[in-house]
Amino acid sequence: MRRLAAATAILAATGVLGATSGEWPAWHPLREARKVEPREEPSTTMNERVHRQLSLAHELLGEGELDEALSSLDRVGTRNLRPYELAQIHQTYGFIYAQQGEDDEALAAFERCVELDALPTFVQQGIVYSVASYYAAQARYADSNDAALRWFRHEADPGADAYMLVGVNHVQQGAMLEGLPYVRRANTISTPREAWMRVELAILVETGQTAEAIALAEKMVGLWPDVASHYETLAGLFLEADQDDRALAALSVAWLRGLLEAEHLILTLARLNMHQDNPARGAAILAAAMDAGQVEPTFEHLELLLNGWASARESVPAAAVVDRLADMAEDGEYHLRKALLLNEDGDWEGVANATEQALEKGGLARPGEAWVLRGVALAELARFPDAIAAFESAGREGDETERRNAAAWITYVQGRAAAQ
């Protein structure tokens, strides 16, 4: 209850929670040309006995004699003390407890010190900021912001860390838009800090501000060009904005810089190349990544590689991929596909071998197609009896179209054989 009362007192002192921007006081951290509210300096008169015991406590604290320092303070007590003396006592208790790692006790002491509001402004401000930091560390984000606003009230030149503290506190409470101006202000007045800019970027992404997120992600790529995750983020934003060409460019730069190692990113890059009418480039990237062990040669990934080489009409590497797929498949479809690829190059011996493998393995959706293709290859190799036998098999196992083609080929082959 005591700590809740302390937080409430801080809240009341700020007088700005729940206010809109138009109601902000002149000292508010987000106001342009803000003016700090003057604070009357308190009396710093101290009893000689209190001063002597405090000095001893500070001396013992400096020497690491923490238990003795506490004992020295305990001898002073807290009765019949002036506000300044009492504030000094609680401040020193806070320092000692902090050194002992007793964070709860340290916070309680600093809270009492803040409530008294009796220290010189410079010292008081330090304690108020410490309280705000303690609250944030304990996930008491609203309390932390209340204390931080009290600190801003009398701080003429607040640093970037204070703005970031308030911004992150808002983010932790799910108030992204409320936190954004503080985070943005922190990044504006600070030298570039990657972690801070990530916070701003996360807010922009979470709140759907894609154009602003892209601009910030591009800036981060420029500032830290060797960080792979920045290219990933940028590419993802481009994809979300239906700017596939720019996503491709971002990932391509990362690939050329040797930064793209994650399997899913390499696959995305390969697919983008294939979809952007550059299948050979996509297949080459995918093949290199498989050779480097960055992409697993799964059935799905090999199919993607095959489609890339086939779309680029690169029959030799495509046929090599088909061989790998054929070994993994339960039927002969990939052997047939290899035969179709080799057929485009007129590799009749290869077609004959591939169709033989396809038919032997079986399970073909259209066995007649394989028999016709085999017959054509054998005819081109002048193996006429074998070719006629293949076409006859096509007539038995093929559909209507394949049977007609087989019949026509039989007539053609018989004519060639008779002419020899």
Tally of domains in the chain:
1
Q: Give the E-state strand segments of 98-246 in sequence order.
A: none
DSSP label at residue 22: G
> Looking at residue 216, what is its pLDDT?
98
Q: Give me the domain span that covers residue 56.
A: 1-19+47-135
416 found inside a domain: no
Query: What is the overall mean pLDDT for the chain?
Result: 91
> Looking at residue 351, what is its pLDDT?
94
Stretch 167-182: mean pLDDT: 96
Q: Which of 320, 325, 295 is nearest to 309 (CA)?
A: 320
- Rounded Cα distance between 274 and 328, Å, is 24
Question: At 77, is the pLDDT very low, low, confident or very high (cuts 50, 70, 90)?
Answer: confident
- Rounded Cα distance between 247 and 224, Å, is 18
pLDDT at residue 55 tops 60: yes
pLDDT digits (tens, 9 = 90+) for 354-410: 999 999 999 999 999 999 999 999 999 999 999 999 999 999 998 999 999 999 999
pLDDT at residue 47 tops 60: yes
For the chain, percent of residues with pLDDT exceeding 90: 80
Asked whether 245 and 277 are in contact (CB, 8 A), the reply is no
> Looking at residue 76, what is its pLDDT?
85
Question: At 417, is the pLDDT very low, low, confident or very high (cuts 50, 70, 90)?
Answer: confident
Query: What are 390's two structure tokens?
Result: 């293949």
Question: At 7, is the pLDDT very low, low, confident or very high (cuts 50, 70, 90)?
Answer: very low
pLDDT digits (tens, 9 = 90+) for 348-369: 999 999 999 999 999 999 999 9
> Looking at residue 13, what is its pLDDT?
42
> Looking at residue 21, what is its pLDDT?
56
For the chain, percent of residues with pLDDT exceeding 70: 95
Cα–Cα separations (whole angstroms), residue 321 to 328, 355, 393: 11, 16, 29
Question: What is the length of the chain?
Answer: 420
Rounded to 5 degrees, what angle do the CA atoms 382, 388, 389 make?
120
- 100, 104, 107, 113: CA torsion to nearest 10: -90
Task: Decide which of 69 and 14 is more confident.
Answer: 69
Query: What are 95's two structure tokens?
Result: 């320092």
Stretch 180-185: mean pLDDT: 97
pLDDT digits (tens, 9 = 90+) for 210-221: 999 999 999 999
Give the residue carrying structure tokens 């729940």.
18
- Rounded Cα distance between 249 and 231, Å, is 10
CB contact set of 71 (below 8 Å; sequence gap of 6+) = none
Indicate left, alpha or beta for 64 from its phi (over 0: left) and psi (-120 to 50: alpha): left
> Looking at residue 416, what is its pLDDT?
86
> Looking at residue 20, what is its pLDDT?
53
Asked whether 381 and 393 are in contact (CB, 8 A), the reply is no
Rounded to 5 degrees, what angle do the CA atoms 308, 312, 313 make?
115
Cα–Cα separations (whole angstroms), residue 95 to 3, 101, 140, 256, 267: 18, 10, 21, 53, 55
List own/partner pairs for 1-9 with CB under 8 A and 24 or more apart.
2/108, 2/111, 3/107, 3/108, 3/111, 6/111, 6/112, 6/114, 6/115, 7/135, 7/140, 7/143, 7/146, 7/147, 9/115
356 found inside a domain: no
Q: What is the CATH number of the domain that holds 56?
A: 1.25.40.10
Stretch 187-205: mean pLDDT: 97
42 found inside a domain: no
pLDDT digits (tens, 9 = 90+) for 227-249: 999 999 999 999 999 999 999 99
How many CB atoms are located within 10 Å of the residue 300 CB? 10
pLDDT at residue 61 tops 80: yes
92 found inside a domain: yes
Asked whether 251 and 221 are in contact (CB, 8 A), the reply is no
31 found inside a domain: no
Asked whether 29 and 149 are in contact (CB, 8 A), the reply is yes
The b-or-e profile of 173-194 (16+ CB within 10 A means b, else e) is eeebebbbbbbbbbbeeeeeee
> Looking at residue 5, what is its pLDDT?
42
Asked whether 232 and 259 are in contact (CB, 8 A), the reply is no
400 found inside a domain: no
Cα–Cα separations (whole angstroms), residue 45 to 58, 119, 347: 18, 11, 103
> Looking at residue 402, what is its pLDDT?
92
pLDDT at residue 3 tops 80: no
125 found inside a domain: yes
369 found inside a domain: no
Question: At 2, is the pLDDT very low, low, confident or very high (cuts 50, 70, 90)?
Answer: very low
> Looking at residue 22, what is its pLDDT?
60
